[in-house]
Chain A
């Protein structure tokens, strides 16, 4: 079976070799990269610009960004026809190619996030490791944590006031450096598409900027959503434990979701949402106004074939409805949750409409191609490039986040000073 033949349906005249080669995994790639970049920008708002009200969600989103990070290249790996050769990109990078620098940018960014995380948690590692060391009868997991923290400290055991202050300064610098790198990471994901001159829909210099704005939107939305969910889950778990052992603090004492954190964060979300929509509409109007050769086929795709997924699902359900939800006075947590889910859906649809929509018409400008996403896989390929492959890639960050939150506590962090 040919690559692409299983899910492509052709209509009118399409060149014989044309198929939908970039499928759901390539939709997932900018979506996940966007979440990484967005979550990081959110955490930087506190560290760099000193928005103290975001302190709690800042630490949360930093850990989340780190959990999302290894998942961003996963869809790329999954869609490669020769995945075992992926290291070739690092061995012989061909720098005229927009993807060639991916490994380098990605690793740089990963190191920035990792070191920032280390500086944020170093004090905690030291105090916890010391405490555990003094504890007479440790459980197995406590011994493991003690060992892990002792290694993670990397010999820097100094927790004097001065040392911790220096940590904070380092965090600030790293966060500041991280913002442009995060924007670069994602802007250049947009560049990968925007620079393909053979594709009439992708070919626009606005693509990187549009990608950055929607990335921040999706990152913030996911952080709000996960924050609310984890807080609620935590409340449930505590309530359950409290029933077993009433000596523990009651759920009421610990408190749940802070409405103020949610409203404050959603204000930033709205800001970037406006920016993203403006740019996207500008792009659309500009294409219609200049109406170059490709406009005929683009128009029939945008206003015809893809009308539902662009105007109803992306702009309507994914942008307009959450916009109204967030701007209506008296924002509640519940409303914010509905809003963020819709925003995430909207950004996903935007990626979908770019990647799949860009392949919906033939380079001959005389025919169309439709992607029928494989639902039930019947071989490895239809699994990878279908619904379950995407779900797998999409769920790994959450598993990683849970795992990381065992090591980097997000809520009960004892302030070392």
Chain B
């Protein structure tokens, strides 16, 4: 073999090795267990029923092993206080893990503000969680495909493959993503996928004493959640981003961010 031939052949070998494994489509999550066309998970939040007790947040942290003291959470509850002069105050101290125990509203780390009862126009609570978007920006931006959407409509993170670049955190308009303090990988709510695939309800749904949180199957017309979504006036968050969220709200107010 002369040098020219050698170079030629080695270039072929290098080019062959450069074909990424992803191009070969070895594993397609859609072909795995999740691919049931009759299943599409959706979440229904009734903001009228939420009292801000924070049981859902507590249950989620314990169920999904997000360190209890860490200032991040897969789900949280926001408190809105709309004043008569139009000012809106929002807070969610410790993600509302311990509920809202004081009337004072947190306005930054360690600082609180008091609002007199007579100044308040309305006040309410809004639970938040991952919207399991139909067009999820976090899946789009993940450079390694560690975040992926299953066919039944839940977005999952592969902790073994995530490189921890934080691009998905930046890409999410809802701010639901964070780095897991122990695993050092991207983390977020997955509707308790390990539970719902076994016929159970997600931890926050089970923990809610007022039925403000419900989970259901959009493809099943007899599902109580689906019935509400189909027949009542429900809202979604940040529609303008085109992410098509699958968490629906009853009693959504224009002040909700």
Contact = CB atoms under 8 A, between A and B. Distances in A.
Interface of A: 1-5, 9-13, 15-19, 21-22, 76, 79-83, 85-86, 88-94, 96-100, 102, 155, 192, 195-199, 293, 362-367
28 contacts: A2-B72, A2-B179, A3-B181, A5-B71, A15-B76, A15-B174, A16-B73, A16-B95, A81-B162, A81-B165, A82-B162, A85-B162, A86-B163, A92-B20, A92-B21, A92-B144, A94-B22, A94-B144, A97-B167, A98-B167, A99-B141, A99-B143, A155-B3, A196-B170, A197-B173, A363-B173, A363-B175, A367-B108
A80 B169 CA distance: 13
Nearest to A101: B143
A413 to B, nearest CB: 28
B216 interface: no
Contact of A81 (B92, B145, B179): B179
A13 B179 contact: no
A366 B72 contact: no
Contact of B257 (A82, A90, A97, A365): A365
Contact of A97 (B142, B162, B181, B184): B142
B173 A94 contact: no
Given A82-B162, A100-B144, A293-B240, 7 more contacts: A10-B108, A13-B91, A16-B94, A81-B166, A81-B184, A86-B163, A93-B22
A88 B20 contact: no
Contacts of A12: 107-108
Contact of A13 (B173, B181, B257): B257
Contacts of A93: 20, 22, 143-144
Contacts of B179: 2-4, 21, 81
Contacts of A88: 144, 146, 161, 163
B253 interface: no
Nearest to A154: B3
A33 to B, nearest CB: 16
A92 B166 contact: no
A10 B92 CA distance: 12
**Dominant secondary structure at the A interface:** loop
Contact of A92 (B73, B109, B161, B176): B161
B103 to A, nearest CB: 16
A9 to B, nearest CB: 6
Given A12-B108, A80-B163, A366 B170 contact: no
A194 to B, nearest CB: 12
B55 to A, nearest CB: 16
Nearest to A359: B170
Contacts of A3: 179, 181, 184
B70 A2 contact: yes
B164 A13 contact: no
A365 B172 CA distance: 14
Nearest to B96: A16
Nearest to A98: B141
A146 B118 CA distance: 88
Interface string B182-224: 0011000000000000000000000000000000000000000
Contact of A80 (B72, B165, B178): B165
B143 A197 contact: no
B58 interface: no
Nearest to B69: A2
| Most chain A Cβ neighbours within 10 Å, of B21, B108, B146 | B108
Contacts of B172: 198, 363
B88 interface: yes
Contacts of B128: 15
A83 B181 CA distance: 16
B6 to A, nearest CB: 11
B68 interface: no
Contacts of B88: 366
B10 interface: no
A11 B108 contact: yes
A85 B107 CA distance: 39
A5 to B, nearest CB: 6
A339 B177 CA distance: 43
Contact of B170 (A21, A91, A100): A21
Nearest to A94: B145
Contact of B175 (A22, A80, A89, A362): A362
Contacts of B161: 85, 88, 92
A79 B167 CA distance: 11
Interface string B75-95: 010100000000011111011
A86 B165 CA distance: 9
Closest 6 CB pairs of A and B: A81-B164, A15-B175, A198-B173, A94-B145, A17-B178, A13-B90
Contacts of B171: 196-198
Contacts of A9: 108-109
Given A12-B108, A16-B95, A17-B72, A89 B143 contact: yes
A369 to B, nearest CB: 10
B241 interface: yes
A98 B170 CA distance: 13
A92 B19 CA distance: 10
A1 B182 CA distance: 9
B73 A199 contact: no
